[in-house]
Homo-oligomer: A and B are copies of this chain.
């Protein structure tokens, strides 16, 4: 099933409009090409509607958002909705600033997303913003959702408890075998609320729509030693959901499994002197060389 998703990306080679951050943009472009799609990066409000128009899908990443690009994200998102193009949201660092939280909230209100991909802290913050406070609360001491609605969080008095590693997930939020059932149910609820496929990535990845979830066990812990593997995955996801418009859940699961599997293949290539920079290159290389057959064999998941 997942192999078909990759096969379609290679076959259709969709053009994807990315409004993304300047930290990882080059890697996002190269991994988009590596999977078989084609990227175009454009973020000026004077052209994003047209760019979205000539593309087949859109990826919005709020990583280094600013007042100029926020406007562009909203225009592009709405245009993509009108054209019925798939749209992916990567809410990088939502919760670490009012600007990011407000922007993510506004995007959720004004744009219908096909898929939303983030780490558990980001997704919980988003979910709290749409009133999923209780259902979003996993069995943990410090649950973001308990902190009140995001709209009230003008100041960051409670900093430190929220995403203390900036754009990385709060350790206390981590999805483990113990809380997996709760996390899956949370993801399904959030999908029901938003209509988007929800991808929560971490040691165990969850990809869910309102009724079905893939729990994906691919990947390597060292992937977190590279800046932007999450951003890259969101770009991949945009390519996959665009090439598979009728199967957003499977397409997203395939992108997530492909990225994790690439992390495994790339890690095996590393020699003792290699570090995170070489690892970054090898992951993109692995996506480039991944065949649908390889993905079918390499993907490790269960459906819940």
* Partner-B contacts on A (CB < 8 A): 15, 21-27, 29-30, 33-34, 38-44, 46-47, 50-51, 53-55, 63-68, 93, 96-100, 156, 159-160, 162-168, 225-228, 265, 269, 272-278, 280-289
A166–B34 contact, CB under 8 A? no
**Residues in chain B near residue A39, CB distance under 8 A:** 166, 227
Closest B residue to A32 by CB, please name it: B227
- Contact sample, A vs B, 18 pairs, CB 8 Å cutoff: A22-B25, A23-B41, A24-B26, A26-B228, A30-B226, A30-B227, A41-B64, A46-B97, A46-B98, A46-B99, A50-B156, A51-B97, A54-B166, A273-B285, A275-B288, A277-B280, A277-B282, A278-B285
Decide yes or no: A54 and B277 within 8 Å by CB, A25-B22, A42-B97 being known contacts. no
**Residues in chain B near residue A34, CB distance under 8 A:** 225, 275-277
Decide yes or no: A277 and B281 within 8 Å by CB, A23-B25, A93-B40, A98-B50 being known contacts. yes
B30–A44 contact, CB under 8 A? no
Nearest chain B CB to A279's CB is how many angstroms away?
Answer: 8
B277–A285 contact, CB under 8 A? yes
A54–B99 contact, CB under 8 A? no
Q: In the assembly, how many copies of this chain are there?
A: 3
Pick from B55, B67, B227: contact of A29, CB below 8 A.
B227
A165–B44 contact, CB under 8 A? no
Nearest chain B CB to A283's CB is how many angstroms away?
Answer: 8
Known pairs A26-B27, A277-B281 / 12 extra A-B pairs, C-beta < 8 Å? A22-B41, A23-B29, A26-B227, A40-B166, A46-B97, A50-B98, A54-B162, A269-B273, A272-B289, A275-B285, A276-B284, A276-B288
The answer for the CA separation of A38 and B21 in the assembled complex, in Å, is: 17
The answer for the CA separation of A53 and B40 in the assembled complex, in Å, is: 32
**Residues in chain B near residue A22, CB distance under 8 A:** 22, 25, 41
B165–A15 contact, CB under 8 A? yes
B53–A159 contact, CB under 8 A? yes
Nearest chain B CB to A73's CB is how many angstroms away?
Answer: 13
B164–A15 contact, CB under 8 A? yes
Name the 6 nearest CB pairs between A and B, nearest first.
A275-B288, A275-B285, A40-B166, A47-B97, A277-B284, A29-B227
Closest B residue to A100 by CB, please name it: B47
The answer for the CA separation of A15 and B280 in the assembled complex, in Å, is: 21
Nearest chain B CB to A59's CB is how many angstroms away?
Answer: 13
The answer for the CA separation of A276 and B34 in the assembled complex, in Å, is: 7
B278–A274 contact, CB under 8 A? no
**Residues in chain B near residue A99, CB distance under 8 A:** 44, 46-47, 50
Determine which residue in A41, A98, A280, A287 has the highest number of CB atoms from chain B within 10 A of its CB, and name it: A41
